Structure 1
Amino acid sequence: MKILLINQTFFPDNASTSQHLTDLAIELVKNGFSVDVISDRRSYDDRNKILPKFEVYKGIRIHRIMTTALGKKTHFHRGIDYLSFSISFLLKIFFLPRYDIVIGLTTPPWISFFGVLFCKFRGGRFIHWAMDVNPDEAVKLGWVKESSLFYKLLDAWARFTYKKSNKIIALDKYMAQLIQSKGITDKKIKIIPVWAHDEVESVPHSENPFRKEHHLDGKFVIMYSGNFSICHPIDTLLEAAKKLRDEKDIIFMFIGGGVRLSEILNFKEKHNLDNIIYLPYQPRAFIKYSLSAADLHIVSMGEEYVGIVHPCKIYGILSTGRPFVLLGPIKSHIGDIIKEYKIGYQVNHGDVEGFINIINIVKNLSAAEKSQYATTTGTLIKSLFSRLCLIKKFIVYAISTL
């Protein structure tokens, strides 16, 4: 059976969609499927880095297409890069053969629309893997006005994609409900969250080279690791860092990149905060060390983005067994995890004192309490969010009723 995967990012990029799509592709090949991928020749993190036009990686045939290199400085620059990828993809599909299954993600946001058209043109079944929901996200971010013609075009494309897709995979119930609100039957939608990566595991502080390298021994590390997106407000986190500037044993570590990076660096410089440390995205092979270096992880979710984006970082955090706090609404996917499994903490945006109180609670947890917490999260990962379990579920759903 021939399968085509479409997304702007893929191996070796570090973006979440790239990592999860690469995981899926590897398992598809292991299960005997013929897999092709169309992705961007330009690296996600460094737009000036050019990847090979064609490459075979673990049996996966990767076809990369050229795009512009404006980067993520503004949404206009990013939009031009998205548009150039879409145009290159449209030119590419005229020379592609028929595939039994085509799976499209959401980078660029409208790429699945073109994937549906390809299946109508060549045949085959289309599966939309909704990593986020647009143009809803673009409106919330202020990139597109709901009254504009551009919004109406994007909305029409999205509804066409949902209607004509043979199957839709949503990452949580809130995302599924949002897609259903657009007139899509729930029978077409399957909720399958993304998974924890196998290489992420708990590394004791005493054995962690990352903590030694960055002089974190004896420090209580509060970590935000991932995308610094507009969807993930960090004001409460930064204000807490300012209030705790004299607590020399507390470090606020930011690892990753995104549009809010300048906000973090400017805040650090403006207030002369030595307790804020920034590092770029870490190589995937070293993520277990960086994530395990934390004593408390931060997951931030803007209330208006619930159902629109999915907090994928939670699964890596759970794999480390470290406590986490949700900065955002309790009525959300992570809020449901907190309530149902009695793990983690939650505080609303703007409640700096409440957040500091949680920091002190976690800081004073006993060794036995930390061990029990790690046991609970480990069981949760193995039973619900493991890579093999969820990819198997994905593949079974994808090929069923073909």
Structure 2
Amino acid sequence: MSLVETDEAPSILFINQHYWPDFASTAQHLTDLAEYLVEEGFDVHVLCSRGHYLSGSMDVPVEETHNGVHIYRVRATAFGRDTILGRLTDYASFYSSTLARVLAGRSYDYIVTLTTPPLLPLVGAIAKVLRGQRYGIWSMDLHPDAEVAAGMFQEEGPAAQLLHVLNNVGYRGADFVVDLGTHMKRRLHEKGVADDRLHTIPVWNRKDEISPIAHEQNPLRGELGLDGKFVVMYSGNAGRAHRFEEVLAVMKRLNGHPDIEFVFVGEGPQKRRIEAFAEENDLSNFRYLPYFPREDLQYSLPMADVHLMTLREEMAGIAVPGKLYGIMAAGRPALMVGPEASEPGETIQISGAGRVVDPRQEEAPAQALHDTLLRLYRDEETRTRLGTNGREAFLEHFERAECCRQWTALLREQVRAENEPATAPA
């Protein structure tokens, strides 16, 4: 019998390596969505690990219910992101524990897998073959496309080819796939995912957590000694998907500027490279801060005058930096180094929320970044206009309530079709 004909709450199991109280981006977005769905009458469960996004385990119970969401944390290693071997070990242990739990546990109206760790959608495909379990995918990024683009695997090598086959089985067998934008949708279509199974829902931020704050009302600027400074901030993961050649060149050129301060916040594989460059060049107006807790983002993001973003050309459609929506929520202009033909590049241009320096279209991209940054530094009126544009676009398209509303409608539609027999992936 279809759930449309009963009073039962639709049951959804989300699977991702990270969840509350971890501060990984995927953990925060999944927490937002899961708790929203509870309010909409869904029976929501989450399967995750106790591993912290950076390294080590969190002191949290194996099972608990938080804000109506039933959380189950499987046994897995927690070496963290410092080494590739440690990360792969974490992935493998979480994957095996999750697959065992899914195959031995209860059935749900839908399982929704995210994409951390890579190949996680394959869990859904196996459950569909062995148990007739329906599943969907929330495609936060694409694997092994990201690893190939980062140079970790050769595109034509046996490892990449095997991973592509396994990953494609997971995607092609899904009842639905949520992508983050037109460029990711194109890549998924090329992988063989049918158009009628692809649904675009962007990630988001929350208007009740981040809003424009005047510098004189922001206590964090005073605490960090940034009063009177023009703060150029890079906030978030400094990962392999990002390019910093132009940013580092501009930092060196503006070294010692009496007003401009470069502030990096977060972690990532390229953090050591950035810090080593700053030390080698004795940069005096640079600092690297650890991640702020989520409750402090209301002060850290508006602390900037301009936010830096970067994306490697080959990562367009593979990785979609969600940090843009926090920047827009804070009412600050985004200055991106990366392809205009990408999700963030197009969002910035269409909404008028900042500037994009595309290295493919500039003979001297570092010079273009330098000149664009100085123009923003000198023109407060333009900065205000760009920030206002970004805030307005955020409220209309990238706020939590709007995006989660789209998710709710999609899941209800999928559950209504539950009485149709599931088919095994090819």
AA partner of residue 360 (structure 1) = L
- Give the count of matched residue pairs: 401
2:326 aligned to 316, 327, 335, which one? 316
In the alignment, which residue of structure 1 is the partner of 2:374?
360
Pair 1:108-2:121 in alignment: no
Pair 1:236-2:246 in alignment: yes
Task: Give the 5 Å matches for 1:80-229.
Answer: 80-198=89-207, 199-229=209-239
In the alignment, which residue of structure 2 is the partner of 1:248?
258
How many angstroms does 1:21 deviate by?
0.5
Paired with 1:98 and 1:26, the residues of 2 have a C-alpha distance of 21
How many angstroms does 1:377 deviate by?
1.9
Greater relative contact order (Cα < 8 A, sep 6+): 2
In the alignment, which residue of structure 2 is the partner of 1:387?
400
Indicate conservation of the 8 Å contact 1:104/1:127, yes or no: yes
AA partner of residue 371 (structure 2) = N
Q: Identity of aligned pairs, percent?
A: 34
Secondary structure, in 3 states, of the residue corresponding to 2:47?
A: strand
Paired with 1:177 and 1:233, the residues of 2 have a C-alpha distance of 23
Paired with 2:272 and 2:155, the residues of 1 have a C-alpha distance of 28
Paired with 1:160 and 1:391, the residues of 2 have a C-alpha distance of 27
How many angstroms does 1:146 deviate by?
2.6
How many angstroms does 1:253 deviate by?
0.5
In the alignment, which residue of structure 2 is the partner of 1:277?
287
Secondary structure, in 3 states, of the residue corresponding to 1:273?
A: coil
Indicate conservation of the 8 Å contact 2:103/2:131, yes or no: no
How many angstroms does 1:73 deviate by?
2.1
Indicate conservation of the 8 Å contact 2:55/2:81, yes or no: no
- TM-score normalized by the length of structure 2: 0.91
Indicate conservation of the 8 Å contact 1:53/1:63, yes or no: yes
AA partner of residue 79 (structure 2) = L
Paired with 1:166 and 1:391, the residues of 2 have a C-alpha distance of 19
- TM-score normalized by the length of structure 1: 0.96
In the alignment, which residue of structure 2 is the partner of 1:22?
31
How many angstroms does 1:372 deviate by?
3.1
Question: What are the Cα deviations for residues 119-177 of structure 1, in whole angstroms up to 9, with x where unaligned?
Answer: 33333421111001111111111222233332222111111112110001000100000
In the alignment, which residue of structure 2 is the partner of 1:398?
411
Paired with 1:10 and 1:144, the residues of 2 have a C-alpha distance of 28
Paired with 2:342 and 2:161, the residues of 1 have a C-alpha distance of 28
* Structure 1: gaps spanning 5 or more residues: none
Indicate conservation of the 8 Å contact 2:180/2:203, yes or no: yes
Indicate conservation of the 8 Å contact 1:11/1:19, yes or no: yes
In the alignment, which residue of structure 1 is the partner of 2:422?
none
Greater displacement, 21-30 / 61-70:
61-70
Greater displacement, 140-149 / 90-99:
140-149
Indicate conservation of the 8 Å contact 1:240/1:356, yes or no: yes
Indicate conservation of the 8 Å contact 1:75/1:143, yes or no: no
AA partner of residue 321 (structure 1) = G
Question: What are the Cα deviations for residues 332-362 of structure 1, in whole angstroms up to 9, with x where unaligned?
Answer: 1122123323331111346222111111111
How many angstroms does 1:265 deviate by?
1.3
Paired with 1:70 and 1:284, the residues of 2 have a C-alpha distance of 23
Question: What are the Cα deviations for residues 310-339 of structure 1, in whole angstroms up to 9, with x where unaligned?
Answer: 121100000111111110111111221233
Indicate conservation of the 8 Å contact 1:97/1:122, yes or no: no
Secondary structure, in 3 states, of the residue corresponding to 2:81?
A: coil
Paired with 1:154 and 1:41, the residues of 2 have a C-alpha distance of 26
AA partner of residue 379 (structure 2) = L
Paired with 2:57 and 2:23, the residues of 1 have a C-alpha distance of 16
AA partner of residue 92 (structure 2) = L
How many angstroms does 1:50 deviate by?
4.2
How many angstroms does 1:116 deviate by?
2.4
Greater displacement, 66-75 / 165-174:
66-75
Paired with 2:12 and 2:58, the residues of 1 have a C-alpha distance of 28
Paired with 2:110 and 2:331, the residues of 1 have a C-alpha distance of 37
In the alignment, which residue of structure 1 is the partner of 2:4?
none
1:71 aligned to 55, 80, 83, which one? 80
In the alignment, which residue of structure 2 is the partner of 1:338?
348
Paired with 2:255 and 2:151, the residues of 1 have a C-alpha distance of 33
Pair 1:377-2:377 in alignment: no
How many angstroms does 1:288 deviate by?
1.6
* Structure 2: gaps spanning 5 or more residues: 1-9, 418-426
How many angstroms does 1:48 deviate by?
4.2
How many angstroms does 1:99 deviate by?
0.2
In the alignment, which residue of structure 2 is the partner of 1:258?
268
AA partner of residue 90 (structure 1) = L
Paired with 1:348 and 1:373, the residues of 2 have a C-alpha distance of 18
